[in-house]
Structure 1
């Protein structure tokens, strides 16, 4: 993936390129356009970016063919796109979302629930359905998510789905061992497993990766939830749990040896390992601070993760709003007396495959000694049964930060914070070459960011991250090269200028497959592209008939044809995770009907 976490993407130019496949050219569409009965076509402004002109061309042609007049508002980059979106200068915004936590609640809560981190929707019915679905599993969950999709898409048409993407990863296998490069369905790319074919190069040569966005939202994991920092923060901060490549919640490669769920599905326990220290940067090198990534840091990190007012411009609090308490367990009998659903005690589950049996649970990191049976255990509770909390803990915003490092930097009052005056932990300027450079990061993960410029970001291995285990990072140095254009990135891959390209364009798969120096990997993804209707100040904001006319103008088969079968039909952002049985079918008769109903009210 180039994971698209909230990447609102689209594109075109004034001289739009005619598309191939079954998609008609602009002139063809104009000939076939359906004029409304009054002779006045509804005018729709489509907002997008210049990076994906194919999608906006298809949307434009489909709307034009169905009787709309289309205006294009095309921005050169994500920053200017976001500014236009925030200003409300659109009827439709081409948007996309990847559920990087692997659970359906994340696919909707932040996007469509009132007050969500990225939500423009305020609908009590939608809110209720999201909350009800989040507590269910199995067939009951499927039925509730079907109700949600019916309301969100078909009844109220807040979005119009376009497609589900697959993942296509290109590897410069002439140098890098493709067997060591993972391609997870949801989580960000894991760097620590990657190795050169010649392992001697692991300590002498940098691994060169790729990212399109060079402006980083924040290196504080709770202050960003987008494609600029998701992979970077995932590799810089360890979490209590991880997602496997197929979206199972696992302790592998995390801060926990094991985790246990009490039978009430409201209490979750994690036994922590003692072989990870925070790393800081001195003289462009990673230095072991000697500060253990401890239960105290876990409590601090998750308390601020769920508190909207913990930091200025908190971007991820809704992800963790179902955490009620985070505490350190200090009485081992509290683990012995609590049962799990399968009848074992929490202590039994936590005790599996540890360096030594749990003899004592300790409150202070100073008393931790796993080899002697002294462990820290963290307990998290939720106000209602909510097993999806584990998926959220695997999200990059669940990354564990250093209480000492963060509080040393964030000395300002949050309510009076001024970005022109104050420096916040993780500010991009503090790691950017030049006068503002003052790297204060403390990394709990396998790598730490040393510095960046407009060309690339440089990371080095955390020397105190699970040293001597299979999770110790293989390569000492990672450079993330910023290349906005995907075709240019593919050329860089073919030339060996980058070693891994996470998002090979669907139309260029044959290029990778035909290059003897490259290896192509393919996987399903949770990435969904859709049209977001403007909720304020436009006719689409108030007319459900107009929104439904747009919805039924969308023919997903044309997108799938253009992408040579490498896209899948979608209904909502839930589609890759839950098969609700619903399907969107383009219907020009319904479009005419809804346009007429809309015009009758004007």
Structure 2
């Protein structure tokens, strides 16, 4: 049976913030920037823990728990993500702090990229893990509960491939004297939505800028398929429309998307979407957002999803594994096809379901975008077929990487040869340098478009072609996102009125918000799980399952929760917030000794 740990891939460094956040350190070839804090204990082996200064609380707690169980501990604390990455790539750790947020709301996303062989961020190769991930992917929620329990048993109980720490709450704070709280959403999974937000004084919506913040100012890419990290998740979510959306509690809906309605056909491998005709691409001219007059069409959908699923469609494609279950995407040109296909739940046919609540019934399905006229009953209908029965594909279509781009514009920019692409010379669609240099080539299909960017902030304007003259159009015209790396500085900026909303507030800061009369707090359980990854090459933990288990049972999640004022939740794996498997990690000093003795005997 194939069961081994693989060296970390370079791409694992991309797991940050909203998608995943692996925290790391500095100069891989020098100890000058590394906090070498070795605490002597008894005679157990030394465990080196890698993280960033933002993870200092977690690192200190884990250190103390390992020391209490007889291990020596070295902390490798790095000041920022780039230096963390260098240390991780150099293998200077036994355990590294990591986190993952399931921004699609479905459990397959919580495991596939992280743990399947050759996954985008996986360092594992275990056939049992692979089989269980694939089995659960095609099951219903009633069926996959047991499968994901088996998955956790293999991942954690039997092999201790990871060390779970906790599940976080998700919170944001806003200035209630400036922003209308009734217009501010907090979603369990998806990024913060800008378009519903309004100032208390609505007359300011057209003139004042909504002031937001995020940690990272170096943006991976404004091309949706080329990044899945905290630098761009919120930005791309608000700049590109998708076929479907997630509600605040993770239900897949057509509201706020490119489709009026969507349905699943009998067999769970064919999905149909009837498209709107009231969304145009935005562009930037002379620093202002303009309506290109170019409708977001079925051809753009096909182009966008074909490149999303194809690992070779762009250099450094970072999200293709999310869309690997897509087989074909096509336009339906015969209304009769829709009438003859039954729904998966047996309640009727596809045509009637797609036409529900439309102002005009579907009398014609057209291929040419120029022939679309929803008011007269002419629609474009997309049919998406998966490689196998896979209802969870809808969650992936709600992810920012499934954002719809302009076929015409992207092809006009990406004229380079993929095989010889040189990022130091070639500027691909979505490269932030195009915006910074004043050659803004973005065409965005969502409610906003980026108009400018520097090291300090990025500015956005509402897309004038997005659902104009409807309640769904963006309420505030201008948005500014300031790049503030330090969380305490971001909180200070909120309290000083320099920003209006702080997304992603630590549980330890709730009391500060609650004591400030002008600020309001929103909080809910999230899909964010923090855990530790073992080094998979060149360390004792890479080879010894017993040593890993000895470390695993040293971790006391109750003590971690206490350090966060009781506001952390237990976890067993990244699937914990989504599926109740019943698995729990209970610290056990006896097992620590049992497995350590077995390690010594090896």
How high is the TM-score relative to the length of structure 2?
A: 0.94
Distance 1:10 1:217 in 2: 17
Q: Could you tell me how far 1:76 is from its partner in structure 2?
A: 1.2
Instruction: Say whether the 8 Å CA contact 2:24–2:88 is kept in structure 1.
Output: no
Aligned residue number for residue 22 of structure 2: 8
Other structure's SS at 1:165 match: strand
Distance 1:9 1:174 in 2: 35
- The within-5 A match list for 1:338-377 is 338-340=341-343, 341-377=345-381
Instruction: Say whether the 8 Å CA contact 2:24–2:80 is kept in structure 1.
Output: no
Other structure's SS at 1:463 match: coil
Aligned residue number for residue 428 of structure 1: 432
Aligned residue number for residue 505 of structure 2: 504
Aligned residue number for residue 207 of structure 1: 210
Aligned residue number for residue 80 of structure 1: 83
Aligned residue number for residue 108 of structure 2: 105
Other structure's SS at 2:216 match: coil
Aligned residue number for residue 573 of structure 1: 574
Aligned residue number for residue 51 of structure 1: 54
Distance 1:178 1:215 in 2: 30
CA RMSD of aligned residues (A): 1.6
CA deviations 1:416-473 (Å, max 9, x no partner) are 11111211111121112xxx33111110000001111111110110000001112100
Aligned residue number for residue 460 of structure 2: 459
Instruction: Say whether the 8 Å CA contact 1:165–1:566 is kept in structure 2.
Output: yes
Q: Could you tell me how far 1:10 is from its partner in structure 2?
A: 7.2
Instruction: Say whether the 8 Å CA contact 1:3–1:188 is kept in structure 2.
Output: no
CA deviations 1:74-121 (Å, max 9, x no partner) are 221112212222332221110000000000000000000111111111
CA deviations 1:131-172 (Å, max 9, x no partner) are 001111233210000000000011111100000000121011
Distance 1:524 1:383 in 2: 33
Distance 2:70 2:421 in 1: 49
Distance 2:83 2:260 in 1: 44
Distance 1:593 1:47 in 2: 26
Q: Could you tell me how far 1:3 is from its partner in structure 2?
A: 5.3
Matched, 1:320 2:323: yes
Aligned residue number for residue 64 of structure 1: 67
Instruction: Say whether the 8 Å CA contact 2:50–2:84 is kept in structure 1.
Output: yes
Q: Could you tell me how far 1:14 is from its partner in structure 2?
A: 4.3
Distance 2:387 2:485 in 1: 43
Other structure's SS at 1:259 match: strand
Q: Could you tell me how far 1:194 is from its partner in structure 2?
A: 0.3
Other structure's SS at 1:108 match: helix
Distance 2:234 2:208 in 1: 21
Distance 1:537 1:15 in 2: 19
Instruction: Say whether the 8 Å CA contact 1:10–1:52 is kept in structure 2.
Output: no
Q: Could you tell me how far 1:13 is from its partner in structure 2?
A: 8.5
Aligned residue number for residue 122 of structure 1: 125
1:397 to 374, 398, 401: 401
Distance 1:383 1:599 in 2: 47
Q: Could you tell me how far 1:589 is from its partner in structure 2?
A: 1.2
Aligned residue number for residue 20 of structure 1: none
Other structure's SS at 1:144 match: helix
Instruction: Say whether the 8 Å CA contact 2:212–2:499 is kept in structure 1.
Output: yes
Matched, 1:291 2:305: no
Other structure's SS at 2:250 match: coil
Aligned residue number for residue 538 of structure 2: 537
- Off by >4 Å, runs of 4+ in structure 1: 10-16
Instruction: Say whether the 8 Å CA contact 1:552–1:586 is kept in structure 2.
Output: yes
How high is the TM-score relative to the length of structure 1?
A: 0.94
Q: Could you tell me how far 1:128 is from its partner in structure 2?
A: 0.6
CA deviations 1:535-591 (Å, max 9, x no partner) are 222221111111111111111111100101110000000000000001000111111
Moved more, 398-407 or 503-512: 503-512
Matched, 1:378 2:382: yes
Aligned residue number for residue 495 of structure 1: 496
Distance 2:470 2:358 in 1: 13
Moved more, 581-590 or 413-422: 413-422
Aligned residue number for residue 442 of structure 2: 441
Q: CA separation of 1:460/1:367 partners in 2, compared to 1, >3 Å: closer, same or farther?
A: same
Instruction: Say whether the 8 Å CA contact 2:372–2:378 is kept in structure 1.
Output: yes
Instruction: Say whether the 8 Å CA contact 2:152–2:572 is kept in structure 1.
Output: yes
- The within-5 A match list for 1:86-235 is 86-235=89-238
Other structure's SS at 1:559 match: helix
Distance 1:591 1:451 in 2: 54
Instruction: Say whether the 8 Å CA contact 2:18–2:233 is kept in structure 1.
Output: no
Instruction: Say whether the 8 Å CA contact 1:206–1:478 is kept in structure 2.
Output: yes
Instruction: Say whether the 8 Å CA contact 1:13–1:53 is kept in structure 2.
Output: no
Instruction: Say whether the 8 Å CA contact 2:168–2:567 is kept in structure 1.
Output: yes
Distance 1:59 1:296 in 2: 52
2:277 to 274, 288, 292: 274
Distance 2:271 2:225 in 1: 21
Distance 2:237 2:154 in 1: 34
Q: Could you tell me how far 1:354 is from its partner in structure 2?
A: 1.4
Q: Could you tell me how far 1:222 is from its partner in structure 2?
A: 0.4
Distance 2:346 2:502 in 1: 43
Aligned residues: 579
